[in-house]
Structure 1
Amino acid sequence: MPVAKRGMVDLSEWNPALDGPVALDGQWEFYWDRLLLPDDFAADSNAQPKSGYLNLPGYWKGHDLNGQPLPGTGQATFRLRALMPPGDHVLTARFFSVRAAYRVWANGELVASSGVVGRSDEAEEPDRSIVLARIASDGTPLELVMQISNHFFPGGGVQNPIMLAVPGPLEQAHANARSWGLLFAGCMLIMALYHFILFILRKKDVSTLYFGLYCIILTVLVASNDASDWLIRAYLPSLPFGAVSKVVIVCYAISTSVLYRFYRSLYPKEFGRILLYIVDIRGLIFIAIVLSQPGVVYQSALQLFALTSILFTFCFVILLFMCFRRGYSGSLLLLCGVVLLGFTSTHDVYFLIFKTHVVSLLPLGLFALVMSQAGALAQRFSKSFADVENLSEKLELRNINLEKEIAERSRLEREIVNISEEERRSISLGLHDGLCQQLTGARLRCAALSRMSPVPNGKDEELRQLSSLLDELVDQAYDLSCGIWPLEHGAGSTGPSLEDLVRRYSRSSGIPMEFSDKRGCESCRNMQVTQLYRIAQEAIANAVKHAKPNKIAVTFDCATSGQATLVVRDDGVGRSAASRSEGGLGMSIMAHRAMMIGGDFQVSDIDEAEGGGTMVACSVVCHSKVR
């Protein structure tokens, strides 16, 4: 590969079609602090005194000129003469990463420019873009004159080689770089959108939010990187380079803080607050410099910021290694990603500060970092899903056992109720056939004695009192027997006698009570009616005791809708004004009885416009056939 020496390069033996692109590297004539035109060299090539020769690609910062190192800012002209291969050729020249503004002439014709060349910061308009220029060669020597001004970057000059080739290879390389950059940016945007949606669905997990933000930042950084041929300029060509540069550098400044918060959301014990404050303060200071200082200042500060980023990356490696040693999920993947990022970023920072013409490895490191983060989140989600599945299986098994336990408990409750009812029946029958019969016999015996004559003197009144007392005892015994067991004694019992219950309560309380029923069966065989009878018994007792009613109405309907419905309604003071007894269980007992038979139990107050009071209702499915 030919190399320029003392402002001359020999390409006479170069075959553009077979040998491929050639780099115009080597010593270019260097004219410091002068912006010369091709006409300035037309009359006599030695008319303009040279400042020496400068190797390109390279920067003039620190170049020795008359014993003094040159500053990074300023302006200069470069000139190269090339001996071209014979024949006519149409060539493509690539100019890329020339800091900060330039113009290029080939044989006196302007072929490429970027930004506006100026002698001061105010006159200069910096830009950073790739230019592919067409140059015609007829075999005669080619003269390239390039003006460069830099009042924006720490060092002016040419960062990447100036390439020369036949049309095709350089354009294809440019398209490939843009395509890979577009692919990477598109993947980052899709991943960002996906993780933003995850955060919206589950705001408790903030790691997805920070990961999505980091993907957005990486999209900006890669789109403004040399590896993608500054893809962002293809979509935002009209934006000033200074504004684009500030946005990119601000994204770079906050990237470490976002990355640290992502790690902290996963491992809060290892990634503490103190280091977070240090990272944030460092980023805020740098952002303040970017927003308040001219380009050459914050571009110089960028180099120091990049060096500190390497230090923080090393801290991330140590902390993630601690997480890995403690067996945290996803820590190994994150550790591998940070190690690769640290290697690639160190490589790029070193060569960009101290060298030129380097293939940027940072996109590779960023891609590895993002993939490791995505893998770590996927591993955590997979583990969470597995834990949820295991818990769901355990919960399902426990639910099955609980359902069995509830079913067994319900069966035992029903059995207890059945035993209780059977005991009530036994006691009722015992009272009816024993005590009631004996009291009836005693009452008849007393009546027989009262008809005997003569009755001893003074015993008439006592005998009448005894007869009256026996009558009351017989009535109370029969009422007690019917209250304990409401069913008829024979085998053809027709269900609870609600009408008799209402009649007895009305007689004993002195409160007028009405009863109405609509039966769908001549003989009720529904075993659940017994529980409805108990609910009615409790509801009437509560109304008599607490509501102070003037009238109580009891309705039983099992003729429609396949349901048996009991309604007890009074016109008393209502639940809110009714007196309550301490430790009362009436409502709870009624609700429990309704639950046992699968009924719908409701207690409600009646509006004053409808007469006021309280209504107790219970409905249960009736499976008896209507006939």
Structure 2
Amino acid sequence: MSGFSSFWASQNKVFRISIILLLLASITYGQGNRKPFAIEGKLNLTSWDIDQNPIELNGDWFFYWNQILTPQDGLLSFNQENKNIKSFPGLWTDYEGDTSYPSFGFASYLLIIEGLEKDKEYALKVPDMYCSYQLWVGSKLVASNGKIGRDAESYEPEWRPVTVNFVAERETESILLNISNFDHSKGGIKNSIVLGPVEHLASQKTNEVAANLIRIIGIALISIISLAGFFLYSKKLFTYFSIFSILWSVRGIFSNMYLIYSWIPDFNWTLGTKIEYLTIYTSVLVGYHIFHNLFPNHSNKIISWASIFINSTFIIITLVSPAVMFTELLNIYFGLMGLLLAYILINVIQAYIYDEKGAGYLAVAITLIIILFFYDMLSYYKFLPYNPYITSIGYVILYGLLGYTLRYNQLHKSKDTTFKFS
């Protein structure tokens, strides 16, 4: 015991604070697990104060493959003895068991909620799904995306997260969700549906949209300022950074909240999805090009050409192939880019050690990327409350810091950078 006390006393404050934070996170995680959870298709909210604590409708839902049920059909199916229960939210392509489900198809999910207050208005926060849906509460259709169908000809995909209101007609209500997919490599629903008070979820939606706009506009302004740097300093690298920034700003419109479908409801889903993926590949391609020209002494020729080849290949595949193909390849790409980012981090550290101009600022920027990544991860697993403004403002600061790194580096060079891989 005395050995442990000596060890504890010898540690610095950072170590002790880290241990305390981990303990608090564990406590928070344990408390989060006490939330009501759907069991065998039923979610009991009798003892839950939903006005103070919105609830994710997670747990065991009834699952009906190759069926599109109506509210009446759903209740009839609920009373049947043979009930197929699956974890919700869940991609049917990930479900394990005696039956495997293909990407293309349609299905219904059914949940019975007990403990609602009759005649009270509630709100549902509904995420985008793969790739069209209808959501019924009781006998009323409260939300939909695209057009569900039993084949590719009768269905239309759409991604548009929504927050909708409904009035509980009784204390026990059924929630029926029909989903169709004939485009994406995934099928089903990945994110939770949230039930809560109208004011709370409406405010949350407003904050999420506002935070997303802050990120889009902020990074777009940085792009414009960076482009001005080309004319002021005659440095071509500012143009590349401007392209890099505007690509990520455009991505904000075609991902996350998918604002494009709120602004232009008839915008083609396949085109929008291609733009979402292309902004990833092109921004990485341009971003590595910037890194290579900032620190050419710390960039390997083989890695440089490999980056061009890999990203160009994914760009071409995305342009010419159907969604089911290029969406299937994204995990492979992330694995490859994880290796590339690790390589960049190692070389930035080397550049900092050798006192390369701007390496210190870039190291800070990469540290901020890591902080934002872990914040997103911890908030996703409920260790920390999620605040969309933190990530959005964080990314604006990140791009501003990257732009300053570029300016600092270029102003301390005696001649213009030559744009070629050497």
Normalised to the residue count of structure 2, the TM-score between the two structures is 0.80
**Equivalent position of 2:40 in the other structure:** 6
Q: 1:183 aligns with which of 210, 214, 217?
A: 214
Report the number of matched residues.
375
**Equivalent position of 1:209 in the other structure:** 239
Helix, strand or coil at the partner of 1:69: coil
1:301-323 C-alpha deviation (Å, 9 max, x unpaired):
11211221111111111221221
The yes-or-no answer on 1:92 pairing with 2:123 is yes
Closer, same or farther: CA 209–169 of 1 in aligned 2, 3 Å: same
Separation in structure 1 between the aligned mates of residue 375 and residue 302 of structure 2, nearest angstrom: 29
**Equivalent position of 1:147 in the other structure:** 178
CA shift, 1:258, in A, is: 0.6
Closer, same or farther: CA 369–278 of 1 in aligned 2, 3 Å: farther
**Equivalent position of 2:105 in the other structure:** 74
Separation in structure 2 between the aligned mates of residue 41 and residue 97 of structure 1, nearest angstrom: 22
The yes-or-no answer on 1:21 pairing with 2:59 is no
1:72–1:155 CA contact under 8 A, matched in 2 = yes
The yes-or-no answer on 1:199 pairing with 2:199 is no
Helix, strand or coil at the partner of 1:168: helix
**Equivalent position of 1:373 in the other structure:** 402
**Equivalent position of 1:223 in the other structure:** 253
CA shift, 1:264, in A, is: 2.3
**Equivalent position of 2:66 in the other structure:** 33
Q: Which amino acid aligns with 2:67?
A: R
Structure 2 counterparts to residues 608-623 of structure 1, below 5 A: none
The yes-or-no answer on 1:64 pairing with 2:96 is yes
Q: Between Structure 1 and Structure 2, whose CA radius of gyration is higher?
A: 1
Helix, strand or coil at the partner of 2:304: helix
1:147-201 C-alpha deviation (Å, 9 max, x unpaired):
0122333322222211111211111111111111111111111111111122134
1:337-373 C-alpha deviation (Å, 9 max, x unpaired):
2344367569979x99xxxxx9799867754642331
Q: 1:260 aligns with which of 276, 288, 293?
A: 288
Q: Note the residue ranges of structure 1 that are not aligned, 5 or more in a row.
A: 353-357, 388-627
Helix, strand or coil at the partner of 2:86: strand
CA shift, 1:104, in A, is: 0.9
CA shift, 1:129, in A, is: 1.1
The yes-or-no answer on 1:287 pairing with 2:315 is yes
Separation in structure 2 between the aligned mates of residue 383 and residue 283 of structure 1, nearest angstrom: 31
1:386-438 C-alpha deviation (Å, 9 max, x unpaired):
x9xxxxxxxxxxxxxxxxxxxxxxxxxxxxxxxxxxxxxxxxxxxxxxxxxxx
Structure 2 counterparts to residues 315-464 of structure 1, below 5 A: 315-341=343-369, 366-367=395-396, 369-380=398-409
Q: Which amino acid aligns with 2:402?
A: Q
**Equivalent position of 1:276 in the other structure:** 304
CA shift, 1:209, in A, is: 0.9
Separation in structure 2 between the aligned mates of residue 20 and residue 346 of structure 1, nearest angstrom: 25
1:59–1:157 CA contact under 8 A, matched in 2 = yes
Closer, same or farther: CA 191–327 of 1 in aligned 2, 3 Å: same
Closer, same or farther: CA 71–339 of 1 in aligned 2, 3 Å: farther
Separation in structure 1 between the aligned mates of residue 394 and residue 103 of structure 2, nearest angstrom: 30
CA shift, 1:115, in A, is: 1.3
**Equivalent position of 2:331 in the other structure:** 303
2:104–2:182 CA contact under 8 A, matched in 1 = yes
Separation in structure 1 between the aligned mates of residue 341 and residue 370 of structure 2, nearest angstrom: 6
The yes-or-no answer on 1:105 pairing with 2:136 is yes
- Report the identity percentage: 22
CA shift, 1:140, in A, is: 2.7
Q: Which amino acid aligns with 2:277?
A: I
Q: Which amino acid aligns with 1:223?
A: I
1:482-522 C-alpha deviation (Å, 9 max, x unpaired):
xxxxxxxxxxxxxxxxxxxxxxxxxxxxxxxxxxxxxxxxx
RMSD: 3.0
2:361–2:402 CA contact under 8 A, matched in 1 = yes
Q: Note the residue ranges of structure 2 that are not aligned, 5 or more in a row.
A: 1-34, 415-422
Determine which structure has greater relative contact order: mean sequence separation of CA pairs < 8 Å that are 6+ residues apart, divided by chain length.
2
CA shift, 1:218, in A, is: 1.1
Normalised to the residue count of structure 1, the TM-score between the two structures is 0.55
